[in-house]
Chain A
């Protein structure tokens, strides 16, 4: 089952240009079986999700992208609206209490924008970030990052033995499916989604090429 774990739509994510109905049409055209809606500090209603899934014929899962002092976190199974930036330790406590699941989103975004040659951070150094002790998984393939940034995340995930996921982080329609997570089993809900990530029964890839 091919799922894009990280997609933003308008108007809930004001930075996105993707209309939800256009999104599902494009996802189907690209051969995706499911989409995770991960709006910034905003949650879809269950009824709206079910209606979108019914109309489109693909699975629609609900997540949330929450900004913390340690960067952005994709949160699943935590249906609480978090309006503002929150310290990650506090978010971790609340999500664990609710039985939720946290993925560090694009953990190395922009880490080499400057310092050309001077700030050579090794994966071993990067693995010591406190962030990685407070999440269940980390995004190792994000469609908005460079190859180098994604490679660093992949290496760190291997060092830590932390599950790595793939998602497009799409904000424009043609970005959907740039990276996807391909699950071995059919997934029906967010509980099964996070169980499969925990169990490691998936691979990361790209959406089948759109015709």
Chain B
């Protein structure tokens, strides 16, 4: 027996005339068919509108599953985003497809701002290790809570060397 399964997924960021960003996301496969549109208000990146249409779903709520997306209004792209989105969408017992869709929309917004900078960064050729690490150190200095959050930012990491992140009272 041959099992055939096809999945299509897309996400698109569109600047609106109001200055906001609309993110359109669609997932379609043999079990699920859902699309959502989230509108993000700049500069705070707050979700000011959210709609989802579920045409096919294996989840218990069926096509009514999209109603839960309204809980996303007021959530901002920022610290604690994953925890907040997953919590509001019902956690492990919630609609995982929609939850991941919201997070992918937020990720698309982040990429919309970060990708051009990252691409520029990757084009640059460095002559010394110090020069290569300088932008990462600047990023860590601007986000001190990342210090000791992973091995790359551990106390004995070359990235952390020379940074004053402990004493910190300014």
* Residues on A facing B (Cβ under 8 Å): 67-72, 84-85, 87, 106, 109-116, 118-121, 125-126, 129-130, 143-148, 150, 172, 174, 178-179, 206
B83 touches A109 (CB 8 A): no
B169 touches A206 (CB 8 A): yes
A-facing residues in B128-170 (Cβ within 8 Å): 141-145, 148, 166, 168-170
Measured between alpha carbons, how far is A46 from B88 in the docked complex, in Å?
30
What distance in Å separates the Cβ of B120 from its nearest Cβ neighbour in chain A? 10
Does B110 lie at the interface of the complex (its beta carbon under 8 Å from any beta carbon of A)? Answer: yes
Measured between alpha carbons, how far is A126 from B168 in the docked complex, in Å?
25
Taken residue by residue from 76 to 113, chain B's Cβ proximity to chain A (1 for < 8 Å, 0 otherwise) reads as: 10111001100110010000000000000000001001
A146 touches B44 (CB 8 A): no
B141 touches A69 (CB 8 A): no
Measured between alpha carbons, how far is A174 from B84 in the docked complex, in Å?
28
B168 touches A143 (CB 8 A): yes
Instruction: Kindly list 17 other residue pairs between chains A and B, CB separation below 8 angstroms, not including A67-B84, A85-B87, A110-B79.
Output: A67-B80, A71-B79, A71-B84, A84-B87, A87-B71, A109-B79, A109-B145, A111-B44, A113-B143, A115-B43, A118-B113, A119-B42, A126-B44, A144-B144, A145-B145, A146-B142, A178-B169
Interface residues on B, range: 20 to 34
User: What are 27 inter-chain pairs, A to B, with CB distance below 8 A?
Assistant: A67-B80, A68-B84, A69-B84, A70-B74, A71-B79, A84-B91, A85-B83, A109-B145, A110-B79, A111-B78, A112-B142, A113-B143, A114-B113, A115-B43, A116-B117, A118-B113, A119-B113, A120-B43, A121-B43, A125-B43, A125-B44, A126-B44, A129-B44, A144-B144, A146-B142, A172-B148, A178-B168
B170 touches A147 (CB 8 A): yes
Taken residue by residue from 59 to 86, chain B's Cβ proximity to chain A (1 for < 8 Å, 0 otherwise) reads as: 0000000000001001110111001100
Q: Select one of A84, A145, A174 contacting B166, CB under 8 A.
A: A174
The 4 closest A-B pairs by CB, nearest first: A85-B87, A206-B169, A109-B79, A110-B79
Q: Contacts A85-B83, A114-B113, A119-B113 hold; do A109 and B78 have CB atoms under 8 A apart?
A: yes
What distance in Å separates the Cβ of A52 from its nearest Cβ neighbour in chain B? 26
What distance in Å separates the Cβ of A82 from its nearest Cβ neighbour in chain B? 11
B44 touches A72 (CB 8 A): no
* Chain A minimum-CB-distance residue to B47: A69
Residues of A within 8 A of B144 (CB): 144-146
Q: Contacts A146-B143, A178-B168, A179-B169 hold; do A119 and B87 have CB atoms under 8 A apart?
A: no
Residues of B within 8 A of A110 (CB): 78-79, 143
Measured between alpha carbons, how far is A110 from B145 in the docked complex, in Å?
9
What distance in Å separates the Cβ of B71 from its nearest Cβ neighbour in chain A? 7
